[in-house]
Amino acid sequence: MTSTSMNVAPGAKAPGRFASAAGQRRLVIAGFLVVPLVLLTLFSLYPFVQLIWFSLIEWDGMSPERTFVGLDNYRRLLGEDIGLLKPMVNSLYYFAGSVLQLALATYFAVILSRGLPGSNVFRLILFLPFVLNSVAVSIIFRDFLQIDGGLDAMLFTLGLGEWRQEWVQDPELVKWSLVFASVWRYLGFQLLITYGALQSVPQDQYEAARIEGASEWQQFRHITFPSIRMILGLQLILATVGSLEVFDVPFLITGGANDTKTFIMAVIEEAFEFRRVGMASAMSVVLVVVVMVAVTLQRLAMTGGKGRS
Amino acid sequence: MTNPSTVGASWLRPPRAFRRLTPLKLFWLCVHYAALLLASLLVISPLAIAFITSFKQPIEMLRGEKTDLPADWANLANYTDFLTEQPIGLAFYNTLFVLLFALAISVLVGTMAAWVIDRFRFRGRATILTLYVLVMAVPMITTQVSTYEVVQFLGLVGSKWSLILLYGGADVVSLYVFIQFCQSIDREIDESARIEGASYWQIYWKVILPLLVPAISTVAILRTIHIYNDFVLPYLYTPRVEQSTVSILLYRSSDMMSANSEAVLMAGIMIVIAPSIIAFLLLQRQIVSGVMRGAVKG
């Protein structure tokens, strides 16, 4: 294929300005990188730098009047406006949920990779929520969890009428309901990643372990777990970052009512509703710092624990 | 399937999990199946209830339980109501428009940058790589307050081009998938094409790009799932239905509709998720392997 399409006679092209190899090389490097770098600068690098600048000013986002206030936004955020940071506490629920989700995903991945009959069907069913539109899913859950909604009706039909709850009205329960919606959505995704990692564990190790009479738990503990430790660690890091960035599902289900506001919701509200761009930017910077610290700590814990990076 | 000893004539034998069953193993097998069935039930039931609700008539919505099956499965009134009341054609058109342009940008820009970064050693290469790593570390959603000003400066707030540029242009994960994949392509392929007199552009376009097709399909699958389902960016940048995606259409209609048109809303939801479910069932093999590959590499 290459030989036919590539048969360009060396002298066939007119010797232009960039005919020399070095010139052509320079042209292709510059030409291929200019668009990616412009996009990177415009939508990632510059916004990040500008965010830090915004966090030092007071601005309503529209008027030409921007007042430089130095670290005042941060001082207020840690002082009288500490309440603005409070939604970050809600991330702990999502973090707890994502640890549970990782454990469940690993459990399901391990038992599905043993080739139980029907495992393909189960894998598909559990993964399905990940490919669905988040607004659609959230509205479905909003209906499912309301009083006398789908969940209550199901419990009643199954003879578990006693278990019916105010899933989104109860101030404590609502947080776990939202965590459930989030686990529902992402469990299958994590399952697939772990399942993929399990495929690379050599089967003969299990064979040998079985001959020596190792129990299933021992096989998991000594063969499976060490081989997927890295992937699980990475997933834990992603889960941590994810639990600090939750937005759409709680926003669409409760709108932040009943103390379910997440930090991203608070930032967006501060910037686009209350039009305090400076404060919203300071909050964003705090979030970036928290994310970085959490990721670094977990990286250290992973590499420091034992084994290689 | 994964065990070579089960291949061949042995298909008549029971699956590996069922062989040499001791009572204890049987017990655990039951536990595993119970867990899988429970999880599947929990996954399916919200969707199933939404599905049956979409066929219900107003009187059923008032009286019956949510789990009751619809009296008339052929009742498509909710579907026709949603289709006539909501500009769903426009929303699908916008979504497809955003999706195709964003994918084109992601793939072209990503493969070009990945190929140059992987194959050439040039001044500034290390800096560029560092910048990409830095950007990866800062989650995109955290900088939206500031990105919004950039989009506003470009005059694109409210236009679907803002979505195209943000989905297509600020997509660093895809670049990583492409770089990883480029590394696995033998450099000698480039060199022999070069000796045969191909220009760099021809090498990229006729040699490298076709070899990157598996990576491109991985990226296309992951990005399609994300773009079709995302809510945050359309909510911030294209709040009006005229320029926006199906996410905003559903969001707006759930706001507008009163409680007694819940069944109509469910019909709309079914219309929006039907393409995803159909594509998922048709392309399950590609999607599953694409997600596993992309996630492990990215």
Predicted complex ipTM: 0.87
How much is the CA Rg of chain A, to the nearest whole Å?
26
Q: Mind listing the domains of chain B with CATH numbers?
A: 86-256 (1.10.3720.10)
- Can you tell me the mean pLDDT for A272-282? 91
- Measured between beta carbons, the chain A residues lying within 8 angstroms of B30 are none
| Residue A308 pLDDT level (bands cut at 50, 70, 90) | very low
CATH fold group of domain A83-305? MetI-like fold (1.10.3720)
Residues of chain B with pLDDT under 70: 1-20, 258-260, 294-298
| A contacts of B33 (beta carbons < 8 Å) | 116
Residue A26's identity, in one-letter code, is R
Of B17, B142, B202, the CB nearest to A284: B142
CB crowding B206-226: b at 16 or more within 10 Å, else e: bbbbeebeebbbbbbbbbbbb
What pLDDT was estimated at residue A305?
Answer: 54
* Residue A23 vs residue A280, higher pLDDT: A280
Contacts of A143 in chain B (CB under 8 A): 49-50, 53, 262, 266
Q: Which one of A8, A24, A280 has the shortest CB-CB distance to B145?
A: A280
Work out the pLDDT band at A139, boundaries 50, 70, 90. very high
CA distances from A238 to A215, B287, B295 (A): 32, 21, 11
Q: Cα-flanking dihedrals φ and ψ of residue A273, to 5°?
A: -100, -50
Number of cross-chain residue pairs from A and B with Cβ atoms under 8 Å apart: 303
In chain A, domain spans: 83-305
A131 and B229 within 8 Å at the Cβ level: the answer is: yes
For the cut 60, the answer to whether the pLDDT of residue A1 exceeds it is no
Token pair, residue A216, equals 């299933």
Q: Is A150 on the interface with B (CB under 8 A)?
A: yes
Contact B273 A133 (CB under 8 A): yes
CA distance to partner chain B, nearest, from residue A211 (Å): 13
Q: Which residues of B touch A141 (CB under 8 A)?
A: 46
In three-state secondary structure terms, A58 is: strand
* Distance, CA of B134 to CA of A295 (rounded, Å): 13
Question: Mean pLDDT over residues A137-147, rounded?
Answer: 90
What pLDDT is stored for residue B1 in this prediction? 44
A213-239 per-position pLDDT tens digit: 888 788 888 888 888 888 888 888 888
A24 contacts on B by Cβ (under 8 Å): 199-200
Q: How far apart are CA B131 and CA B134, in angstroms?
A: 5
Q: Which of A 101-140 lie inside 8 A of B, CB atoms?
A: 104, 107-108, 111-117, 122-136, 139-140
Measure the CA–CA gap between A19 and A21, rounded to whole angstroms.
6
Alpha-carbon distances, residue B254 vs A52, A180, B89, B259 (angstroms)? 37, 22, 17, 9
Separation CA A30–CA B112 (nearest Å)? 11
Mean pLDDT of all residues belonging to chain A: 84
CA dist A239 and B92 (Å) reads 32
Strand-pair partners of A58? A67
- Which residues of chain A lie closer than 8 angstroms to B232, CB-CB? 247-248
Question: So what's the pLDDT on residue B36?
Answer: 94
What is the rounded average pLDDT of the residues A134-143?
93
Q: Which two tokens stand for residue B68?
A: 């009751």
Helix axes B160-169, B144-153, angle to 10 degrees: 120
Residues of chain A contacting B67 with CB distance shorter than 8 Å: 150, 153-154, 156-157
**Residue scoring higher pLDDT (A100 or A1):** A100
pTM of the full structure: 0.86
Residues of B in contact with A192 (CB under 8 A): 288, 291-292, 295
- What is the distance in angstroms between the Cα of B152 and the nearest Cα belonging to chain A? 10
Question: How confident is residue A63, by pLDDT bands cut at 50, 70 and 90?
Answer: confident
> What's chain B's Rg over C-alpha atoms?
25
Q: How far is B143 from chain A (nearest CA, A)?
A: 6
Q: Mark yes or no for CB contact A216/B291 under 8 Å.
A: no
For the ranges A77-91, A192-206, B15-29, B215-229, which has the lowest average pLDDT? B15-29
Cα separation values, A97 from A50, A91, B88, B92, Å: 34, 10, 35, 34
Q: Do A47 and B150 touch (CB under 8 A)?
A: yes
Of residues A195 and A17, the one with the higher pLDDT is A195
Cβ of B229 and A111 within 8 Å? Answer: no
Residue of B94, B46, B99 whose CA lies nearest to B269: B46
Do the bridges between strand A57-58 and strand A67-68 make them parallel or antiparallel, or are there none, so unpaired? antiparallel
Residue A304's pLDDT is what? 65
Report the alpha-carbon distance of residue A196 to residue A115 in Å, rounded. Answer: 14
A68 beta partners: A57
- Residue A206 to residue A204: CA distance in whole angstroms: 5
Q: Per residue in B78-131, pLDDT tens? A: 899 899 988 999 999 999 999 999 999 999 999 999 999 999 999 999 999 999
